[in-house]
C-alpha cells in the first residue's frame, strides 16, 4: 500500500499539533514523531496497540514515553490522506470526550474548507 499523506490541521492562528509537540521533552516528541511516520507508512492499515478508532470518524494515535501516555487525534480525508487534529497527554483510562469533540469540530471545519485548514509538515 502506498504511503499516506499526513497533514496537520491548521487553525486561524496556529497549527495545534505543532504547538503541542513544541512543548514536549525531546524524547517524548521524538516518540510522537515516530508514530506519525508510522501513520504515514501504514495509513488505514494501522491498528491497536498503535492506533484505535474512537467514533465519529476520529482515531487516536498512541505513544508512550517514561510512563506518560501521549495521544494524537486524527481523521481520514479521502483514501490517501490523514489530518492530525491535535495532541494531548492522556491521564485517564478513556480519552476525554472534550478531546474527541475538539477533533470532530476540526474535522467539520476541515471538510468545509480543506485549503484553509491544511498544514503539510516535512516529516
Q: Which stretches does DSSP call E strand in the chain?
A: 5-9, 51-55, 58-65, 68-77, 81-90, 118-119
| Residues of the chain scoring pLDDT < 70 | 1-2, 123
- The per-residue pLDDT for 63 is 97
* Cβ(32)–Cβ(64) below 8 Å: no
Check residue 91 and give its pLDDT: 87
Query: How far apart (Å, rounded) are the C-alpha atoms in residues 9 and 117?
Result: 6
User: Rounded CA gap, 117 and 107, in Å?
Assistant: 10
Which pLDDT score, from 0 to 100, does residue 79 have?
86
**pLDDT tens track for 82-92:** 999 999 999 88
Q: What pLDDT was estimated at residue 80?
A: 86
Within 10 A of 108 (CB to CB), how many other CB atoms are there? 11
pLDDT at 88: 97
Find the farthest-apart pair of alpha carbons in the chain and give their distance in angstroms, rounded.
39
Domain ranges for the chain = 5-115
Residue 1: per-residue pLDDT: 52
Q: Residue 102's closest CA among 28, 4, 6, 11?
A: 11
Q: Given 1.10.8, 3.30.2310, 1.10.760, 3.40.1350, which CATH number is that of 5-115?
A: 3.30.2310
pTM > 0.85: yes
Amino acid at each position: 500500500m502506498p504511503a499516506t499523506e499526513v497533514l496537520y490541521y491548521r487553525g486561524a492562528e496556529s497549527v495545534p499539533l505543532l504547538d503541542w509537540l513544541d512543548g514536549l521533552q525531546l524524547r517524548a516528541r521524538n516518540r510522537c514523531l515516530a508514530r506519525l511516520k508510522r501513520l504515514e507508512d501504514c495509513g488505514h492499515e494501522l491498528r491497536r496497540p498503535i492506533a484505535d478508532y474512537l467514533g465519529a470518524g476520529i482515531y487516536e494515535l498512541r505513544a508512550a514515553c517514561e510512563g506518560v501516555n501521549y495521544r494524537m487525534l486524527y481523521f481520514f480525508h479521502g483514501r490517501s490522506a490523514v489530518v492530525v487534529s491535535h495532541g494531548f497527554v492522556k491521564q485517564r483510562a478513556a480519552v476525554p470526550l472534550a478531546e474527541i469533540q475538539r477533533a470532530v469540530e476540526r474535522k467539520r471545519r476541515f471538510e468545509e474548507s480543506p485549503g484553509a485548514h491544511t498544514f503539510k509538515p516535512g516529516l
